[in-house]
Amino acid sequence: MSFESVDPGEGHSIAAWTAVTIMLVAFTIGTVAFFLSMAWLVWASAALLVVGLVVGWVLSKIGYGVADAKSAHEGH
C-alpha cells in the first residue's frame, strides 16, 4: 500500500534557511549580551533579527522561496 502525502514544503527553501540561520545567530548573540549586561549589543542583535527577516523576505521575492524553481530539488 502506498501513501501519498501532500507536503507543502514549508521552510524547505534557501530563503527560509538563510532567514532562520541569521535570526538564530541574532538570538544567541542577544541572549549572551543580555546575560553580560551589554544593552547596546542586545539592541544590535534585535536589529540583526529584523535584518534576518528582511533577508528571508527579499530572497523569497527574487526566486529562492518554497514555490520557486531556484530552490527546487531534483528528485525531492
Residue pLDDT, tens place only, 44-55: 999 999 999 999
Does residue 74 sit within a domain?
no
- Average model confidence (pLDDT) for the chain? 85
Provide the domain count of the chain.
Answer: 1
Residue 22: which of 57, 48, 61, 60 has the closest Cα?
Answer: 48
pTM of the model: 0.77
What domain range is 54 assigned to? 14-67
- What's the half-sphere exposure (Cβ side, CA atoms, 13 Å) at 29? 17
Cα distance between residue 31 and residue 25, in whole Å = 10
Does residue 9 sit within a domain?
no
Band of residue 2 on the pLDDT scale cut at 50, 70, 90? low
Does residue 1 sit within a domain?
no
